[in-house]
Structure 1
Amino acid sequence: MTLKVIQFLPSLRGGGVEIGTLEVAKALVQAGHESLVVSAGGPMVESLEADGSTHIRWDLGKKSPLSFRHIWALRRWLREQRADVVHVRSRMPAWIVYLAWRGMPENERPRFMTTMHGLHSVSAYSEIMCRGERVIAVSKTVEEYIAKNYPRTDMSRVRLVNRGVSDEEYPWDYCPDEQWLSQWRNEFPQFAGKRLICLPGRLTRLKGHRYFLNLMAALSQRFDDVHGIVVGSEDPKRQGYAKELVEQVKAMGLQDQLTFTGGRGDMKNIYSQSAMVLSLSSKPESFGRTTTEALSMGVPVVGFDHGGVGEQLQSLFPMGRVPCFDESVLLSKVDALLHQPEKPKKNDCYLKSKMLAQTLTIYQELASTAQS
C-alpha cells in the first residue's frame, strides 16, 4: 500500500526531533511513499528536499492564540491533499492540526498520529500529544510517563519505538583518519598522553557540570593522566552560566585538568578519543542521544540512572549506572573503569534502522484500519 504522509513540527533548525523527522521522511521516499513536511523552515530544509520530500513552509509552532487562525486554512489544505496519515511531533502544531482534522468529515480526513518526544510538563496543553489514533513513545520512560500522568490515554494506541542511531554513522571501534587526528593534536596539545573523560551537551545547568567539576577535582588527586572535556556550545540565553563555569574551574584550580571545547560537529571522532563519556543531567531525559551514540561505538558511558539514559545503560552497560546525584558512587565507577576499562554490549536495541521500520509499519497499520 503506497502512502502519503505529512509530518508537522515547528521548524527545521536542528535538534533531535528534527533529525528524526528527516530520517523518517527519507525512509518513506526510499520505500516508494510520498512524504511532505510542514514547518516554519530552517537550514535542514535543503537536506529534506534533496532526499525527495516536499517541504511546505507554514509556521504553526508559535505559542500564541493567533496561531489558531490557521485552523480553517489548514483544514481546507488537508482536504485537498488527501493524505493517508498526518503525524505531529510538537504541541502547538499538534493542537492546530488536531482541531483542523477533527472538523473534517470522517470519510475525508487522514489518520492522525503523534509522537511524544519529551517529558513535557503535565498539563491539558501537553495532553494533546496523547490524543493520536496512534501515539509513539520514544522510550520506555516516555511510555510509563504517559500511563502515569495521562490516565485517560488509551494505552492500546501507544506504540513503543525506541529512538536509534545508525551503526554505520557510529560504528563500533571507530578510528578517525590521520588528518583529523593531526588537527585535533594541534588544536588541543594539552590532551597528549591523557585519557579523556567527555561530558557532551550545551552549557546549561541541566547538564550537571557541577557534578563533573567535583568529579575532576577528585580524579586529579588520584590520576595524573586524566583530562576532562566539556563539549558543547554556550546557550545564547544563558551566557552568564558559561562565564560562571569558567570562573568555577579557576577557583577549583582545574585549568590544567579540564577543557571547554565549545560546540563541535565531529562528535563521532571525539567519542573515539574518549576513555569514557558521562551523562549527568539533573532531570531525566526522554532518550539521551549522546549516550546511545557513544555506547554504539563501544565507548563506556557512566550516567545517572534515570530516564532514557538509565534504560540504555541497563540494556548495554549496567556497570555505568549511578544512583541519581550520588557523587561518591560516580567517583567509584569512573575510578574503577580507569583502572580496568570495560566495553558495553553491542547495540542491537537502539538502532535507526529498527526505529524506521517500526514507524513505517505503524503508518501502514494505521492507514489500513477503520477510522476510530
Structure 2
Amino acid sequence: MPFLTKKLTITLINQVLLPSTMASITIKCKSPVTGRVPTNESPCKDTDLCRTVHWSFMVETHRPLRVLYVDHTAKLSGGEIALLNLLRVIDRSAVEPHVLLFSKGPLQSLLTDSSVTTHLLEMDNEVLETRKESLGVNSIFKLKKIELVVSQIWKVFKFIRENKIDIVHTNSLKSDVIAGISAKLAGVPLIWHIRDRIDGDYLPAKVASTFKLSAKIIPDLVIANSYATLSSLNDNQVKTNGHEIVVHDGTPLAQALLHRQMSKRKDGNTTIGIIGRISPWKGQHIFLQAAQQINRQFPEVRFKIVGSAMFDEQAYEKQIRQLATDLLLDEVVEFTGFREDVAQVLDELDIVVHASTTGEPFGQVIVEAMSAGRPVVATNGGGVPEIVNSQSVGLLVPMNNADAITEALKRLISDPNYASTLGEAGRQHVLQNFTIEKTARGIEQAYSKLTSTAKQTRPIHS
C-alpha cells in the first residue's frame, strides 16, 4: 500500500476471512503524533496522517472440500451401506459431503438422518433397472436409453456447476459412467470408487473390457475396495500407482462393539448364520447343504439366513426356501428377512458363514462378524483372503464346496474354546486393520493428494 508512509504504523484491528476467495480487511492507522488508534470517542485530529483504509483483495482460503458422492440407487446394498458408513465419520472440517441419488429409497433417509446433505435427481427406471447381466451393445445403444442417459448427464453437469462442486466421487457402475462424463465436462476432478470385480464372471465380457479401458481414461483417480477388485481392472495384475489405489471398507461396529459383551444363547445351543442379500452367487443353497450335514450330527444346532432378495432375485429366494423344506430343515432354519440391526443379529449368532460361489469384491459381512468376535468360515476367493489373511483369524474354505464348510463348522462346534480363541483373534485383527475411521482417513488422504496434484483452472468455489 504505497500511500502509507514511514510516518504511519499499521495496526490491523479487524480481519474477516469469508468462506470464499474474497476477503475484506479494515485497517486503522496509529497516529505518530498521539500514539493512539482513533476511535469514535477519540477521533484523530491529524487527518493527513490518521485515517481508516478499507481494502478488498483476493486471498486463498481453506474451507472444506465440497465433494459430491453419486449413486444410481438408494437401495441398501453393500456399496450403499459402505458409503453411508463412510459419510457418518468423514472429517467435516476437511470435507463437506453432498450426495446425489438417481432414485428414492432407504439410503436417502438414512443419509439425511446422519446430517448428510442429500439431493435427488430421479432417472427413468428403464435405465436404472437394467441388470448388469443384460448389458451389452444392443441394450446400451437403444435410442430411448441413449436419450435418457444423455439427459441425465446434462442434469448432473448442471448440478455440479450450480453447486460449485470440487470433487465428484462416484459409488456405482452406472454412476461412474453418467456422473463421470458430467464431471469431465464440468472440469471437476473425478474419482471412481470401484466396489465390484470387473471380470467376465461378473459382467458381460464386452462390457467388462470397455469398462477397464474407460477406467484408464475417464477418472482422475480410481479407488478400489480390495486388491482383488483392482486386479480385475488390470487383467488380474495388481498394480497400485498414483492413478489407482486400494482403500479397504471398514466397519463402524469395530469401535461400537469394543466395550460390549456379546451374549451367548440362553439355551446353550449353537446358532450358525449367513448374512447378506439373497442371491445365487451369495451361496445360500451351499449353506443349506452344509446345514443338512451338520443337522445329522448336531441336531440341536440352529441356522439363520439373514437377508432378502434384491434386483429381481425373488425367484432364487423361493428356491432356497423350498430347498430348506426338501432337506427337512424347516424346524432348524429361520429366514429372518432383511435386518438393519447388524449388531443385534450378530448377538444372536455363534458362528458366521460366508458362502459366496464367485470371488467377493471385498466381504463386508466378514469384517462385521469378526468385529463382534464371531468365528468366521469364509470361501477363499476375491477380496476375502485380504481379510482372512491367516487361519489364525478365520477359516478359509474352497468356493462351491458344502463339504468343506461342513468340516470347518464341525471343528468349531466340537471345540468351543477354539471357536472363542478364533473369534477373539479375528476381532483384534479388525480393530487393527478394518475400522471405518481408518477407511475415512484413507479417503481423505486421497482427496488431499488429488487436489494438490490436479491442475486447477479455477479457484476453490464458495
The TM-score by the shorter chain falls in which range? 0.7 to 0.9
Structure possessing the higher relative contact order (Cα contacts under 8 Å, 6 or more residues apart) = 1
Cα 1:12–1:248 change in 2 (3 A) is closer
1:334 maps to 2:413: no
State the secondary structure of the residue aligned to 1:114. Answer: strand
Partner Cα distance (2:221, 2:376) in 1? 33
Cα 1:53–1:215 change in 2 (3 A) is closer
> What is the one-letter code of the residue matched to 2:447?
Y
Native 8 Å contact 1:172 1:296 kept in 2 = no
Partner Cα distance (1:49, 1:290) in 2? 24
Cα 1:232–1:317 change in 2 (3 A) is farther
Partner Cα distance (1:299, 1:5) in 2? 36
Cα 1:144–1:154 change in 2 (3 A) is closer
Cα 1:328–1:353 change in 2 (3 A) is same
Match of 1:135 among 222, 226, 235: 222
Partner Cα distance (2:307, 2:454) in 1? 47
Partner of 1:46: 109
Partner of 1:160: 246
Partner Cα distance (2:455, 2:289) in 1? 56
Deviation at 1:316, TM superposition (A): 7.5
- Radius of gyration: which is bigger? 2
1:233 maps to 2:308: yes
> What is the one-letter code of the residue matched to 1:8?
V
> What is the one-letter code of the residue matched to 2:111?
L
Match of 2:280 among 174, 181, 205: 205
Native 8 Å contact 2:212 2:234 kept in 1 = no
Partner of 2:194: 116
State the secondary structure of the residue aligned to 1:197. Answer: strand
Deviation at 1:252, TM superposition (A): 2.2
Partner of 2:118: 55
Q: Which runs of 5+ in 2 are unaligned?
A: 1-61, 131-144, 457-462
Cα 1:317–1:293 change in 2 (3 A) is farther
TM-score (norm 2): 0.69
Partner Cα distance (1:210, 1:287) in 2? 21
Partner of 1:356: 440
Per-residue displacement from partner, 1:33-80 (whole Å, max 9, x unpaired)?
322111124333334234443222213673631221233444344334
Partner of 1:30: 92
State the secondary structure of the residue aligned to 1:168. Answer: helix
Partner Cα distance (1:246, 1:110) in 2? 48
Match of 1:3 among 50, 65, 68: 65
Native 8 Å contact 1:91 1:126 kept in 2 = no
Partner Cα distance (1:124, 1:299) in 2? 40
State the secondary structure of the residue aligned to 1:103. Answer: helix
| Larger displacement relative to structure 2 (347-356 or 256-265) | 256-265
| Larger displacement relative to structure 2 (228-237 or 331-340) | 228-237
Native 8 Å contact 1:94 1:128 kept in 2 = no
Per-residue displacement from partner, 1:8-41 (whole Å, max 9, x unpaired)?
1113332232233334434446325322111124
| Larger displacement relative to structure 2 (331-340 or 26-35) | 26-35
Native 8 Å contact 1:193 1:225 kept in 2 = no
Native 8 Å contact 1:295 1:316 kept in 2 = no
Per-residue displacement from partner, 1:69-112 (whole Å, max 9, x unpaired)?
233444344334332211112222222333233334xxxx2211
User: C-alpha root-mean-square deviation of aligned residues, in Å?
Assistant: 2.9
Q: Which runs of 5+ in 1 are unaligned?
A: 186-190
* Structure with more helix by fraction: 1
Q: How many residues align?
A: 355
Partner of 1:312: 387
Partner of 1:264: 339
> What is the one-letter code of the residue matched to 2:399?
C
Partner Cα distance (2:192, 2:455) in 1? 16
The percent of aligned pairs where both chains have the same amino acid is 22
Native 8 Å contact 1:172 1:297 kept in 2 = no
Partner Cα distance (2:318, 2:179) in 1? 42
Partner Cα distance (1:273, 1:26) in 2? 26
| Larger displacement relative to structure 2 (351-360 or 330-339) | 330-339
Partner Cα distance (1:349, 1:29) in 2? 19
Cα 1:156–1:276 change in 2 (3 A) is same
Match of 2:295 among 198, 211, 220: 220
> What is the one-letter code of the residue matched to 1:49?
T
Native 8 Å contact 2:74 2:80 kept in 1 = yes
